[in-house]
Structure 1
């Protein structure tokens, strides 16, 4: 133990040498103190575990544990004097210049995703390169599967392994979208994957292959055959490594040598086994509980073998892998428990549907996506009716509160700008909501979908209709429950088009029923008002702020959190404030709107309304009813005979 602490003391002493103390989270308006070499990446204080602020001297006083030596350096876990735990990675063999290192760390530090471990700060000098991360108490996936130092751990069940797989896949897919779709992880393996707060896989050690030149260890079989060192990594090799991870989750065999065991070439093993005897030969028997699990394991094996194709060109893209995994793991029949089948759906009085849970179980289902509060399915019943079933995982209230919320929902049924909730189900294990299906997709998909020759852009009048329709829906919601009801999760992915192609809002009020951890995810999306620090702070005023962001999204065509031309990640509100301050207002508007010059005055009015909605002071924001009146006034004053542009 003394040797470990001595190493730690020398490490931190090197960092402290000739450095001034600097608070971790400083006011953004303050100029950096000269000669400070601990670079703090700008993360909102409420979303970080590095709180309260600490000084560099705190590191020296911290109790420390040597975690181990990895491909790119050694890692320490440090417990600060007030209890916060952090991980500090000391890099070796850094092969780029200090300016290049700093630039790359800023890129990595700007990546915000629930399935990617956030880089909080870094230190850079001639002799030392350190990275500071949050500490995950559950340990790595490698330690969960294989134990520490070769000691066996408790069995990891199949649902947990599926969450690890889909979370890691989402994280890698998100990484691959960065830097214009060119960023690579380069070192994907189970020891670099942890479990986030929702117990989904979370990718760590991002992008070190760019800054550290090293050859990969020969007794590791988690790298693609074309990769010999960090110079050969690619997104295709990331896909290969993820395929090996899937095989590791299926077999519980390690592709990297650990103490007391040998590394196994899982790809060679899988290819050598008779296809009809997969389960008997290589699957981990600890998780083979029933035929349903076996079918899912077989599907995961197929995905894994596609990923580990010898030719890089034959491997799928990571975004494609995510979709296949989600489709396979979230089939309705495999998700409902036996107890769910014994209960009944509760329909509202005016519901025109006649079906029950058994009909849902027999229906074909397609995963539409995972939202803030759960997974949505497109379900086609045997009678041809198409519905959306939302399986809400984040609802934590008791049944009495849930039913009261449903009663309020029933009283707002029939409004053309609010998606009608047709039925609901509540049990300890399952909360289901049944909605109508909107074939045209969400406004988010219409705005940000693939832009190509086959895509029909949203013109100015279409965007104004969406804004007015959504405002009508939100104003109607705010009248409910004695004028106290709210939406809580306003965003373009929760707005659809009705028959008149006006905005129609969905997902009403679920935020008030959800767990506090949901808010951390909500804040990263760019719609959350600045005063909302916990679920209890959500209000009608914060709804107005979120709707203001939606208006800015319609005007600019940009996402609420986007990357600027120089690679910086910034909120849409902050970016537009900067553009307006510099009097470059024309840059705010989506390029697809520039051809509607006759509507320029109306666009400016909409921008003005939006900026009023996103005022940082809640009391200065207008009521939703007033926003609606202003939007309708824009529509009324527009010239009916304005020439259309094809």
Structure 2
């Protein structure tokens, strides 16, 4: 490993006292454990003798001629002055010294354009990044002036220079350590190592943060400071998970060969002179890396490797999304527009001619505009709701199908933060996005304890999603008709009456909205849940007006559909009353809206009840469980049946208003409300 540490021993020799060196190489030394097992210090090339005797024993110089000993002791005094040469940038406390850094556990990070980098973990718990610069022939005064310029760059998206060290042989820089590793490692690290799934939001934060940092650097020193070495291995994530730049400002101090040709602008390859325009070019390459997750040189069809710019230019504009973007990102169609706009910015940054490239301040504005399009895309929260999750959280959530209805499929989604929501994925939505959003706003403003609260919605070309509060008890349908041992529970008369009263109040409230013209359009037991007080609460409000005729006339809900809806294909408040009447019959009989019996034709519940009431005693329609438990409530049940039969009259005008239904049901239950 000695080659990895690149003659690190020269620095150690220059600043650590002889007794400390001696301790490092003796088994009983407490300092041995502080040297990383990965470290290897090779001292055979040192030109200064080391004392390997005990601290209290005879000097290692005792066998040397006196003049030589005197010269070496003078040199040691000079070295001790250099130990105190670790200079902390103003604002940073000197909580460690160079000795502590050099005795720390060291981990090699890598070699870059300007030198080698190490992670230094000290005994006091502090971890920093130590940058050892390549051979730098620069006067001390000029070096310190340049460190002051770099140290004065303070920004959330620029890695802060904490301290530096200057000697004739060594130039060191001390930075904060970012534990997540570089963006390069995140994008291109091994699958079993650093590489991990990177969602679009994370990549966008990396790009926005890096752009802000570069723009800030470009404003320093009278607008003349240049980063000069922008690449994904020099970008990290700060505490807010935005891109943060390191290695800034060294290019103008250390002339170096063009090693990172993939990042350098064409003019830099020729002139070796970096500029703010060449920084913009390098940032454009970073954007292409984030979008494609491809290396700087990429082989096409087994041919010679080409650069990212040439690769993107080689693909027809209409096919770029499919053939250039990272397939991991393409799984989320809702971010495609953002990716295309980001690609356009990236391509403008890598224009061949410097003057055609935008300024970094302009790039920041464009990147932030993309991010504000949908910070986490296309999940709109209803006014008054505090968002604690986003679309990508929802899409990654553990999901369970609750049911499939005529308007779409409902899911129970358990989010990473532990909360649970109900998500409905709509199908056959025929209205424009603007009309959809307007209807969501209407529904979102509808605040009533017996109407399920709309939390958020998502509207894109391919998907329409709505998010509700989740009711853990399940729907009234599952309670009445679920399989034994699963959702089905025994409902006594009082519980069924509360379900009816609550649902009636909710529907009546809906009918007062939008100038008393709003319709629910999909009243059925699978859309009724229980509040914490045990009353019915309706969901799926107002969706019918968004759907195609096919969805409205779905055969699965024909048992709830009023006769006139089949003929006119139009919903009304009167048809809501009919559907609610079917719900009342379900609660009373315990039977589903369409009764299927072996070898018998399916029959609507309304028809079955009518036939039983005509031919038998009225009580024959009641759920036998109700008669066993609540025989003294038979009179109330008969009244309840009469209300239901009034609701399902074939002529719409003969049906009661929902406000009247509420009053009649509350009269039975002994409750009252403003409805």
Q: TM-score, normalised by structure 2?
A: 0.45
Q: TM-score, normalised by structure 1?
A: 0.47
Larger Rg belongs to: 2
